[in-house]
Amino acid sequence: MIQIAVLGYGTVGSGVVEVIETNKTDINKKAAEDLSVKYILDLRDFPGDPYAHKVVHDYNVILNDPEVTVICETMGGTKPAYDFTKQALLQGKSVCTSNKELVAAHGPELIRIAKENHCNYLFEASVGGGIPIIRPLNYSLTAEKIDGITGILNGTTNYILTKMDKEGAGFEEVLKEAQEKGYAERNPEADVEGYDACRKIAILSSLMSGKNVRYEDIYTEGITKITAADFKYAKQMDKSIKLLAMSRDTEKGFFAMVAPFMISREHPLYSVNGVFNAVYVHGNMLGDSMYYGRGAGKLPTASAVVSDVVDCARHQGKTIMCFWDEENVDVTDLSSAERKFFVRVRDDQREAAMAAFGSLVEVNVGIVKEFAFMTQVMSEKEFNEKIEKAGGCLNRIRIMA
């Protein structure tokens, strides 16, 4: 019997309890042990809830109960999750988490502590909700040198961009609708500014490199400047606009960024719409592979947490291998990264833009008073210099190769 404590009885936490109950027979078979939720930690009480009697308010009850060997941390945030997790691991209790903020901020330290205490810190649910991606990176692609990861890692922004694409609507309008439907938070900053995707690509990039990619080092640009007009141009070029989180391990350095990109219809990420997420991975032997599914939501995310619990049950007293050292990766400045750009300038800057950029491809969708074009491949530095020289820039969007 594996006795579990769930920290935080919110959306994901209650999902964990539901998944364990609903799929009991299958899960216990796969874990080769019966899983049982012994405690639920929450500040609130839940009168009438069938699990009300398991709710405790004092974390020490859990910490001091030697029967509890696995803890599901579904609280979110770094405080008090960091302290709680550390205390548990130091006592040899494994922790399975959906908390991307905590994993991105303290992952390698907590992984080390788990190892030192012969237990596990697992975080399949922290990226891509229910999509298996952490385990494929750690267990499946072990014969690969992975040199590129590109993800659509945030459901809210992908929902908004998909709506803008399909309906020609503006950002503010779609954001409002998404908030009404519960697909976007009241304070949408973490999503629309790319901060959430940034935490997630920091985690994936760290697993790719084996060292620590600090999320603070990742260039992050949100989708708030994307307009209906941008989508008109995109459509004209048979492209869409997606918020991509990516990292590349190249000879020029290790690049990582979050930004809106124009992406062609042929690319598998083009068809990832609505609240779906996908992670596109490039390995030197396998080439491209992609992992697709629901990137958020109560049951998908909880399913990933419980799959970690099953892994803990299968590896009691043993730490599952995970390469994420505390040494920081030297994330390279974007200035030498090369790509094409889509640019819109005021029409009175047409001559200046043509002079600055030389060879370019004009894109015309009948919007007057502006001149839109696609550049040749150039470095970010070169692009910034040229657009500065041209002047009158209305917007610019990177183009995915």
Q: Which is nearer to its own copies, 303 or 349 (CB)?
A: 303
Q: Binding residue for its own copies (CB under 8 A) from 47, 48, 182, 287?
A: 287
Interface positions, 4-23, toward its own copies (CB under 8 A): 19-20, 22-23
Q: Which is nearer to its own copies, 161 or 334 (CB)?
A: 161
Q: Binding residue for its own copies (CB under 8 A) from 52, 290, 377, 401?
A: 290
Q: Which amino acid is at 236?
A: Q
Q: Binding residue for its own copies (CB under 8 A) from 284, 328, 335, 364?
A: 284
Q: Which is nearer to its own copies, 248 or 294 (CB)?
A: 294
Alpha-carbon separation of residue 317 from 36, 77, 99, 266, 400 (angstroms): 19, 28, 23, 47, 45
Site string for its own copies, 25-44 (x = CB under 8 A): -xx-xxxx------------
CB of 216 to its own copies, least distance (A): 27
Pairing of strands 35-41, 287-294: unpaired
The 3-state secondary structure of the chain reads: CEEEEEECCCHHHHHHHHHHHHCHHHHHHHHCCCEEEEEEECCCCCCCCCCHHHEECCHHHHHCCCCEEEEEECCCCCCCHHHHHHHHHHCCCEEEECCHHHHHHHHHHHHHHHHHCCCCEECHHHCCCCCCCHHHHHHHCCCCCEEEEEEECCHHHHHHHHHHHHHCCCHHHHHHHHHHHCCCCCCCHHHHCCHHHHHHHHHHHHHHHCCECCHHHCEECCCCCCCHHHHHHHHHCCEEEEEEEEEEEECCEEEEEEEEEEEECCCHHHHCCCCEEEEEEEECCCEEEEEEEECCCHHHHHHHHHHHHHHHHHCCCCCCCCCCCCCECCECCHHHCEEEEEEEEEHHHHHHHHHHHCCEEEECCCCCCEEEEEECCEEHHHHHHHHHHHCCEEEEEEECC
* Gap between the Cα atoms of 157 and 174, Å rounded: 10
Stretch that binds its own copies, among 107-115, 169-177, 308-316, 353-361 (CB under 8 A): 308-316
CB of 138 to its own copies, least distance (A): 9
Interface positions, 142-161, toward its own copies (CB under 8 A): 142-145
CB of 74 to its own copies, least distance (A): 14
Interface positions, 220-279, toward its own copies (CB under 8 A): 268, 270-272
Pairing of strands 370-375, 219-220: unpaired
Does the annotation mark 200 as catalytic?
yes
CB of 377 to its own copies, least distance (A): 25
Residue from 200, 211, 340, 386 carrying the catalytic annotation: 200
Q: Which is nearer to its own copies, 55 or 309 (CB)?
A: 309
Stretch that binds its own copies, among 165-173, 223-231, 298-306, 381-389 (CB under 8 A): 298-306
Stretch that binds its own copies, among 87-95, 159-167, 176-184, 306-314 (CB under 8 A): 306-314
Q: Binding residue for its own copies (CB under 8 A) from 213, 257, 302, 372?
A: 302
* Gap between the Cα atoms of 207 and 46, Å rounded: 38
* Residue 286 interacts with its own copies (CB under 8 A): yes or no: yes
CB of 222 to its own copies, least distance (A): 26
Stretch that binds its own copies, among 77-85, 127-135, 335-343, 390-398 (CB under 8 A): 127-135
Q: Binding residue for its own copies (CB under 8 A) from 304, 353, 360, 387?
A: 304
Number of residues binding to its own copies, judged by CB under 8 A: 54
Which residues of this chain interact with its own copies, rule CB under 8 A?
Answer: 19-20, 22-23, 26-27, 29-32, 124, 130-132, 135-136, 139-145, 210, 268, 270-272, 283-294, 299-300, 302-307, 309-311, 314, 321, 323
Catalytic residues, by residue number, are 200
